[in-house]
Structure 1
């Protein structure tokens, strides 16, 4: 008897990896068992390009391996969908582009250990101490930007935010934008683009942080810790 297996593949809009529908990675299975959801199943218009599943990050290597989909707690994914809805209502040609969402604590250690030269207090500006857990580890934080729905070659194109994702330094600090504009280190357009992102995310119920224009929290770490378990 011959058996025929139907393979269903999804192709990333960024020319990414082909994913077999029934060969779900163990890390994704673990997230689903903990009740997390795929954000693109909540809102298919949200774009995803997990930077830690590529070499295009500050570590310079693939940290996530098989994890290529963005997962969050259902309440956080709902907030993200609300932010997406707001963005599209006010900027129909733009879309949210997720760079990172729920993060296993094992990956948190990899990121933490990738910054050995920074003093611990400085390191915590950019990577939460794995012993305490990041809000990402609870599935309640998201790193993202805004992209055009269709850019060059028909693929989404991120707006100019003044720095790349995971830039460590004052140029990425929302708290310093007025000074950086006056000194000519950021342009008004770059700040306006950041404001488009912040406005949409705040309308969705997220809060921003001081050091990274791309990072938003659906809950505080204290509330996330009370409500959810860390993804290991």
Structure 2
């Protein structure tokens, strides 16, 4: 199936966002959600503190993820890298990326903070203004086929221009390989958008439902506040 171009969508994080009206949904594990969804816990495999082998999303987001998986062509499935992310993990990722920038020669703290804000949300314990993954409404993922993961043009967590969702839409003279990547990103984008998610334009792998960013893009009320720690009361 040929999917249309990925549209240009700008999410102004400085714009007014309605306050979170917490819906109280539990989180559900994704490894048993659907036969067309597998979990590859990327940060667990990289050894980040506080990570685990399972991935979780709020019930509403998980249901929509299952719907997106069912809309894939036969033989394809979604591969989840990350879902709900604790404060500990978010802080570890933020500091890890900050150290990467320092090792590359970045010295201006304001410039470092601006660059960090493009790719890693600042960790916070404020459940009314949570980072997307802290809410349980954000998911990082790709698509796999019989031959493995589809080529999306970059690895997960590649923080360069190539990772921008529309990068391969904007090439003046795309190669055959570029067109393949473009098609793969369109597929992921459209199955996720059709299921009710929104995309973060700097990361082809990042989608949200029920979050503050989702609310801004859809003119809705955010329904997921932060979940600071995993416990039995919040897992369905």
For Structure 1 versus Structure 2, the TM-score category normalised by the shorter chain is 0.7 to 0.9
SS at match of 1:98: strand
Residue 106 (structure 1) aligned with residue 99 (structure 2)? no
Give, in angstroms, the shift of residue 71 of structure 1.
0.5
Give, in angstroms, the shift of residue 181 of structure 1.
5.6
Runs of at least 5 residues in structure 1 that lack an aligned partner in the other structure: 1-32, 56-61, 152-156
Give the match for residue 206 of structure 1. 197
SS at match of 1:146: strand
TM-score (norm 2): 0.71
Residue 169 (structure 1) aligned with residue 151 (structure 2)? no
Spell out the pairing of 1:1-232 with structure 2 (5 A cutoff): 35-55=26-46, 62-64=47-49, 67-87=52-72, 91-116=73-98, 117=101, 119-131=112-124, 132-148=129-145, 150-151=146-147, 157-180=148-171, 182=173, 187-221=178-212, 226-232=223-229
Give, in angstroms, the shift of residue 226 of structure 1.
4.9
Give the alignment's Cα RMSD to 1 decimal.
2.4
Indicate the structure whose relative CO is greater, using CA pairs within 8 Å and at least 6 residues apart: 2
SS at match of 2:168: helix
CA distance in 2, matches of 1:104, 1:176: 30
* 1:80-111 CA-partner distances (Å, limit 9, x unpaired): 00101111xxx101100111111111100001
Give, in angstroms, the shift of residue 230 of structure 1.
2.3
Aligned residues: 185
Misfit runs of 4+, over 6 Å: none
SS at match of 2:119: coil
- C-alpha contact (below 8 Å) 2:25/2:59 kept by paired residues: no
Runs of at least 5 residues in structure 2 that lack an aligned partner in the other structure: 1-23, 107-111, 216-220, 230-236
